[in-house]
Amino acid sequence: MTESPHPSGAGPLRQVLERIGEGVRDRREVSIRTGLAPDVVDSAIETLTRMGVLAATPLGSGCPDQGCGSCGSGRADASPGCGAPGPGPGRGPVALTLTRRR
C-alpha cells in the first residue's frame, strides 16, 4: 500500500474537498497531492457536485485546442471530465467552487 503524500486519516471525499479548498486547480493535481488514484478523485468530485458541496460553472465556450489533457475539467487521466466523448463544440472547462451548506 502506498502512503498518501497528504496523510490526514480522512476519506477520499474529505481529502479532495480539502485540496480544492486550498486552491488546487485541477483533478490531476488533486490526485498528486492526495495520493488518490485518478478515478477515485473523479468519483469524489462527481459525488461532491451531486451533493451540492461543489458547483460546476462553465468558464468558456468550447474545448481547448490541445484537447482534454490541457482542460481544467479534464480528468486526472487526461480523458474528458465534462461528460463529452472527446473535444467538441459546446463543451469546455468548468470552475469547481465550494458552496455553503444551508
Q: Is residue 7 part of a domain?
A: no
> Does residue 21 lie in a domain region?
yes
Q: Is residue 51 part of a domain?
A: yes
Q: Is residue 20 part of a domain?
A: yes
**Is residue 87, in this structure, part of any structural domain at all?**
yes
Would 2 be classed as within a structural domain? Answer: no
Per-residue pLDDT band for 33 (boundaries 50, 70, 90) equals: very high
* Domain assignment present for 73: yes
Tell me how many domains the chain contains. 1
- 61-92: pLDDT as tens digits: 566 666 666 676 677 777 777 666 555 555 55
CA proximity to 96, closest of 60, 22, 45, 47? 45
Question: What is the phi/psi pair of residue 49, to 5°?
Answer: -70, -45
Q: How confident is the model at residue 13 (pLDDT cuts 50, 70, 90)?
A: very high
Residue 79: which domain range?
A: 12-98
CB atoms within 10 A of CB 16: 29
